[in-house]
Amino acid sequence: MKIFKFGGASSQNANGIRNIVNIIREFYDKNIIIVISAIGKTTNELERLVAAFFANSEEKYTLLDEIVSKHNAIMAELFDNTDSAAIADIQSQFHLLKNYLGKEPSENYNFEYDQIVPFGEIIASKIIAHYLNKEKLTNHWLDARKLIITDNSYREGEVNWKKTEKKIQKTIQRFLENTNNKQLFVTQGFIGGTTENITTTLGREGSDFSAAIFAYSTNAEGVTIWKDVDGLLNADPKQFSDTVQLDKIPYYEAIELAYYGASVIHPKTIKPLQNKNIPLYVKSFIHYKDKGSIIHDFTQKKKIPCYIKKTNQMLLSISPKDFSFIAEENLSTIFAIFAFFGFKINLMQNSALSFSVCVDERSNWQELIEELQTEFYVKYNKNIELLTIRHYNKNSLTKELKDKKIILEQRNRTTLQVILK
C-alpha cells in the first residue's frame, strides 16, 4: 500500500485534476489510497459560509452559490452527458449542504464548523473519484468520517488510534480479500467522525496528518505529499532568497523544523510515520518525475542551515511586583496564565527579576496582559520577528540583519534564535 495526498493547489482547476490522473497512472504499481483535500481555497470560502450561517445572515446563500458555481465549472470541463449518475452523486452533496444552511444554528460554533466545512473534502473527493473512474482508473470511494475516529473536540478532533486502525484495516481488507489485482481508493483528508457518527475536523491543513493516519493504519510502505514546490526547502521562498532543497531529512529534524514554525508539513504528520518507520516523500505535482525530498530514519551528516521566520510576534517582559525572584512558583503562575488565554510560547529567557517571553500575537493579547498585571509588571514590544536558524554558522545571520536590530538572542549548539525589530 502507498498513500498519496493531493492538496487544494493540485486540484484547483480541471487541468489540475487531469494532472492528478496522470500522476496516478504513472505510479500505480500497487494499492494506493489517495487522500484529497478541498479544491483550491474552498476551505477558506466554507469558513466564511460558517460565519454567515452562524450569524443568521442571508449572505450564506450568496456564498454557497459561489462555491457551487466554482465546482460546477470544473465539473463541466471534466464530465459530459454520459456522466449523469456521477454528476447527480456530486450534486446531492450540494443539496445536503443547502439543506443544512436552512436550519437554525446551534450555539456551538465549532460544532457547526465541523458540519459545514467538511463538504469541501467530500465534494472534491467525489469529483476526483468519479473522474478517475471515467478515465478507467476504477476506484473505491471511502468515507473518512467513518474511518478516522475522533473524540468530539470540534475543529481539533483527537484521534482514537486503536479504533481508527481497526476500522481502516477492516474496510480495506474487505476490498482486497477476493482479488489479486491492485486496488485504488479515494478518501478525504482533514475530516473524521465520532463513534456517534458526528463529523469532526482535525485542524487546518490537517490532510497531511490524515495521510499519515491512513499510512499508520495500513502499514503503508510510504506516503507521498504532492505539492506545488519541488520538495522541502531550507527556508520559505516567500520570505528568503537563495533557498536550497533538502533532499533527505531525518524524522527528528522534520519535527524540530515544524516545532519552530516551518509550515511545510502539518506538525502532527511525522510522529505516526516515525512510529512505524514509514518514509514521507514530498514531491512536486508539476515535475512529478523528479525525486523531491524524503523524510525518514537516518543520521544526518551534512547539515544545511534552515531558516524559519515568524512574524506578528510579541515580546513580553514580566517581573514580580514584590521583587521576588523569577523561580518555580512565579513561573508556574505565569505559564498557567499563558495557557489559559491560549498563547503558545515560542521563546523564553529569564534573569533573577525578569522573565521574557515571545509569543504569537493573538487578538486577546490585552486580556493576557491585564491578567498578568495583577501580580507582575509587564513591558511589551509588538510587531517583532522571531528568526530561528537550525544548524547556524557564523555567516548565517549577517544577511538577515540589514536594517534590523536584535533585541534578544539565544543559542545552543544547533539552534540560534533572535528576536528582531
- Output 212 or 416, the one with its CB closest to Mg ion: 212
Q: Which does 206 bind (CB under 5 to 8 A by kind): Mg ion, ligand ASP, none?
A: ligand ASP
Q: Name the one range near Mg ion by CB under 5 A: 36-44, 92-100, 174-182, 395-403.
A: 36-44
Residue 124, SS3?
helix
Q: Residue 181 to residues 31, 34, 35, 223: CA-CA distances in angstroms? A: 9, 17, 21, 21
**Residue 37, interface with Mg ion (CB under 5 A)?**
yes
Q: Which spans of this chain sit near ligand ASP (rule: CB under 6 A)? A: 7-8, 37-38, 43, 120, 189-190, 204-207
Shortest gap between Cβ of 205 and Mg ion (angstroms)?
Answer: 6
Q: What's 44-90 look like in SS3?
A: HHHHHHHHHHHCCCCHHHHHHHHHHHHHHHHHHHHCCHHHHHHHHHH
- Output 37 or 293, the one with its CB closest to ligand ASP: 37
Shortest gap between Cβ of 248 and ligand ASP (angstroms)?
Answer: 24
Three cell numbers at 77?
Answer: 470541463
- Output 125 or 139, the one with its CB closest to ligand ASP: 125
Sort residue 312 into left (φ over 0), alpha (ψ -120 to 50) or beta.
Answer: left
Three cell numbers at 127?
Answer: 469529483
Shortest gap between Cβ of 266 and ligand ASP (angstroms)?
Answer: 7
Q: Name the one range near Mg ion by CB under 5 A: 1-9, 90-98, 102-110, 279-287.
A: 1-9
Provide the 8-state DSSP code for 303. -
Three cell numbers at 191?
Answer: 475530516
Cα angle, residue 228 at apex, residues 224 and 233 outer, rounded to 5°: 80
- Output 43 or 293, the one with its CB closest to ligand ASP: 43
Q: What is the total count of residues that contact Mg ion (CB under 5 A)?
A: 2
In the region spanning residues 58 to 77, those forming contacts with Mg ion, defined by CB under 5 A, are none
- Alpha-carbon distance of 358 to 374, in angstroms, equals 20
Q: Residue 209 to residues 205, 213, 265: CA-CA distances in angstroms? A: 8, 6, 9
- Output 225 or 372, the one with its CB closest to ligand ASP: 225
Dihedral of alpha carbons 257, 262, 264, 267, sign: positive
Q: Which does 233 bind (CB under 5 to 8 A by kind): Mg ion, ligand ASP, none?
A: none
- Output 105 or 189, the one with its CB closest to Mg ion: 189
- Output 24 or 212, the one with its CB closest to ligand ASP: 212
| Residue closest to 258 by CA, chosen among 208, 192, 312 | 208
Q: Which does 105 bind (CB under 5 to 8 A by kind): ligand ASP, Mg ion, none?
A: none
Shortest gap between Cβ of 48 and ligand ASP (angstroms)?
Answer: 13
Strand runs labelled E in 256-373 = 280-284, 293-296, 306-320, 345-350, 355-360
Shortest gap between Cβ of 120 and ligand ASP (angstroms)?
Answer: 6
Shortest gap between Cβ of 143 and ligand ASP (angstroms)?
Answer: 16
- Output 34 or 86, the one with its CB closest to Mg ion: 34
Cβ neighbours of 156 (radius 10 Å): 15
Task: Spell out a b/e string for 87-101, using b for 16 or more CB atoms within 10 Å of the CB, else e.
Answer: beebbebbeebeeeb
- Output 37 or 330, the one with its CB closest to ligand ASP: 37
| Residue closest to 221 by CA, chosen among 34, 32, 26, 37 | 32
Residue 264, SS3?
coil
**Residue 8, interface with Mg ion (CB under 5 A)?**
yes
Shortest gap between Cβ of 8 and ligand ASP (angstroms)?
Answer: 5
Q: Which does 292 bind (CB under 5 to 8 A by kind): Mg ion, ligand ASP, none?
A: none
Q: Residue 369 to residues 52, 366, 375, 381: CA-CA distances in angstroms? A: 31, 5, 11, 12
- Alpha-carbon distance of 308 to 285, in angstroms, equals 24
**Looking at beta carbons, which residue is closest to ligand ASP?**
207
Q: Which does 189 bind (CB under 5 to 8 A by kind): ligand ASP, Mg ion, none?
A: ligand ASP
Shortest gap between Cβ of 16 and ligand ASP (angstroms)?
Answer: 14
- Output 39 or 87, the one with its CB closest to ligand ASP: 39
Shortest gap between Cβ of 378 and ligand ASP (angstroms)?
Answer: 34
- Alpha-carbon distance of 421 to 382, in angstroms, equals 9
Site string for Mg ion, 164-203 (x = CB under 5 A): ----------------------------------------
Shortest gap between Cβ of 333 and Mg ion (angstroms)?
Answer: 39
* Residues in contact with Mg ion by the rule CB under 5 A: 8, 37
